[in-house]
Amino acid sequence: MTDSPLARHARRLDAFVERVGRGAAWLTLALVLLVAGNVLARYLLHTSSVALQELEWHLLAALSLLAASYTLQQNEHVRVDILYQRYPEIVRRWIDGLVPLVIIIPFALFIAWLSLKFTHQAYAIGEVSPDPGGLGYRYLIKAFIPLGFTLIAVQALSMLLATMARIGLDDRSVTWSRKR
């Protein structure tokens, strides 16, 4: 990537998403320890906790939603590579630019926007687990939905800026004029 303003912005967004992704990776350790602790408690101590079992899926949901943007950044997402790799470089660049702009960013922001109401509703009614002994504050886990999809949009924006920088669409090569 060149050292254009677009490339610098893309690197900053990438660094932010990478920090979030690496932080989310620690949730994997917490989840493994929690599941192991729940299993040991159930089979060795013959006891279990509904709240701790619910915490397992809460951690898994948070991990999935936070790590999705990092997965996109690391190019580990699902894509039809068998077709993509056969295209000429210019076609791949257009795909790299148009997919974030036309598909990923609009859909991610739309889902984030829709889920804000869902999250706010859980907060407004004080939603708790329907199971006795379950976790309260259900809005906290639901808040990961708009957060996760916003992070996906941020990563897609980074991809778009990086592609624009690669094809030379930075502010040094494009002049905007009001005259026609």
Residue 19 confidence (pLDDT) above 70: yes
Residue 70 confidence (pLDDT) above 50: yes
Residue 39 confidence (pLDDT) above 90: yes
Q: Which two tokens stand for residue 113?
A: 């926007």
| Across 19-28, 146-155, 167-176, least confident range | 167-176
* Three-state SS at 127: coil
Give pLDDT, residue 66. 95
Q: Which tens digits make up the pLDDT trace of 117-134?
A: 999 999 999 999 999 998
Q: Could you state, in order of their start, the residue ranges of all structural domains in the chain?
A: 5-166
Give pLDDT, residue 141. 95
Give the global pTM: 0.84
Q: Please state, in angstroms and rounded to a whole number, the distance separating the CA atoms of residues 54 and 65.
A: 17
* Mean pLDDT on 71-98: 81
| Cα dihedral: 84, 107, 10, 26 (round 10) | -100
Average pLDDT, the chain: 88
Burial of residue 56, with CB atoms counted within 10 A of its CB: 0-12 exposed, 13-18 middle, 19 or more buried? middle
Residue 168 confidence (pLDDT) above 80: no
Cβ atoms of 69 and 18 within 8 Å: the answer is: no
